[in-house]
Amino acid sequence: MLFSFTNKKGILLNETKPINYTTTEDLLILEKNFIGFKEALAFKESQGKYTVVNTLGYLGKYQFGKGTLRRFKIYDTQKFLKNPELQERAFTALCKVNKWILRRDISRFVGKRINGIVITESGILAAAHLAGAGNVKKFLRSYGNFKFKDSYGTSIESYLKKFAGYDVTHIIADKKATV
């Protein structure tokens, strides 16, 4: 998967540890592992920028809602925006919680086709990040008849397709994941 970046120094985070990088070309190639998954999702959400707040108030690199942040006991949004390590830990924790919520649907639907889309675990986790785990359950269990688009018009189906095929098996389902 290819993504455009400017030739500036930046930070890529591996789980919670910053790794400095400098792009020497205008393209960065991401592997199909968890790091590639989260960086691809972050690029779609915020162009990978930690300090972004969108027009609807979603925050940071992964565009968290305030309700999701409260679930992880994060109340100071300004501190959150200034703390890349906290944002990375929050993303991983959210993936663990969503994987727990969707564990039965993952085992039931991965490998099946819905509306022409091959369902994968990473696609399901990305769609849950976009629409919430409950809406992804409704979509899967209705075999694609339940439709969802966010306020910008992005659908569950587009995330299922765009983020398919990443290896997210090391993310352990955890109902009580914390940052």
Quote the CA–CA distance of 171 and 179 in Å, as a whole number.
14
pLDDT (0 to 100) of residue 28: 57
- Whether 86 maps to a domain, the answer reads yes
- Residue 176 in domain: no
Q: What angle do CA 136, 44, 22 make, to 5 degrees?
A: 140
Dist CA 165 CA 143 (whole Å): 20
User: Looking at residue 10, which CATH number applies to its domain?
Assistant: 1.10.530
How many domains is the chain partitioned into structurally? Answer: 1
Residue 179 placed within a domain: no
Instruction: Examine residue 36 and state whether it is found in any structural domain, yes or no.
Output: yes
7 occurs within a structural domain: yes
Which sign, positive or negative, has the C-alpha torsion 26, 56, 12, 177?
negative
Backbone φ and ψ for 13, nearest 5 degrees, come out as -105, 130
List pLDDT tens digits, range 95-153: 999 999 999 999 999 999 999 999 999 999 999 999 999 999 999 999 999 999 999 99
- Answer yes or no: is 170 within a domain: no
Residue 17 structural domain:
2-162
Q: Is residue 96 part of a domain?
A: yes
Distance CA 114, CA 158 (A): 12
Per-residue pLDDT at 30: 75
Query: Is 20 inside any structural domain?
Result: yes
Helix and strand numbers (H, E) in the chain are 8, 6
Question: pLDDT tens digits, residue range 5-43?
Answer: 333 444 444 444 444 343 444 455 679 999 999 999 999
